[in-house]
Structure 1
Amino acid sequence: MDTPSGGKVIVFGGDFRQVLPVIKRGKIEDVVAATLNSSYLWDHVTVLRLTVNIGLTSVSSATPYDQDQINVEKIRTFVDWLLNIGNGNVNPTQDDISEIQMPDNALVKDVDDPIGSIISSIYPD
């Protein structure tokens, strides 16, 4: 039997919408042509999709306090927003270009020390 990779199972992980190949001086068509799902190998791929956000589930199951539940809702709202962007459901236009308004709390406002600002927002203590 002639199968790719000698019949061995290979697991590709990640979100193909976020992980694109880099083609030096390439046009959009070149990048799309170089993606895994444009390869002849794609006919041999079985796509399995995760349907539950495990990180969000573990956070929500470990939140006995009201403040923690508010944080879970913020996380859930952010996750839904990211998925909507990935699915092209945020302000779609006729030419497949979307204008996305970033939430104010996702912006780095300290122009003098942006790296320090990112670090202190992730690790406030």
Structure 2
Amino acid sequence: MMVGHRVQSDTASGGTKAKEKRYNVRRMAGDDSLPIEFDPPFLDFGENAVGQSSKRRIFVRSRLQKAVMLDSIIGATVNFHTSFFNTVEISPLGTAFFEVAFLPREEGKASVAINIHTSVGIFVYHSVVHQFTNPKSV
């Protein structure tokens, strides 16, 4: 059963359950089977003082000979925020980017798995940071 442009049929088990293909970007980095690649493949903000934000740009490159639609970016944390893509479609073998901002709120390690929905599947992109006490806090 074909529903939209991203959904594949799961008929191997005799059913018609539709599902999207999922890719773990960190685990599959450097693997030629990824239809799009991320640079960097994993985002490490390093050490950040509580209250001091930082931002990084992530590039998305298509390895396909067809256009890739960039649908949405979803993350589940108040510390990490993402921009929209700079374009909604990556041309064949083209590049796009988005940005991830981080605002440390408490001490300790924080991480997030950002889900990037595209026309070729869902890509899980990981980001981590170590937060420490801000020496300039009042």
Normalising to structure 2: TM-score of the pair?
Answer: 0.22
Larger Rg belongs to? 1
- From the two aligned structures, give the one with the greater helix fraction: 1
Quick one: higher RCO (CA 8 Å, sep 6+), 1 or 2?
A: 2
- From the two aligned structures, give the one with the greater strand fraction: 2
Normalising to structure 1: TM-score of the pair?
Answer: 0.24
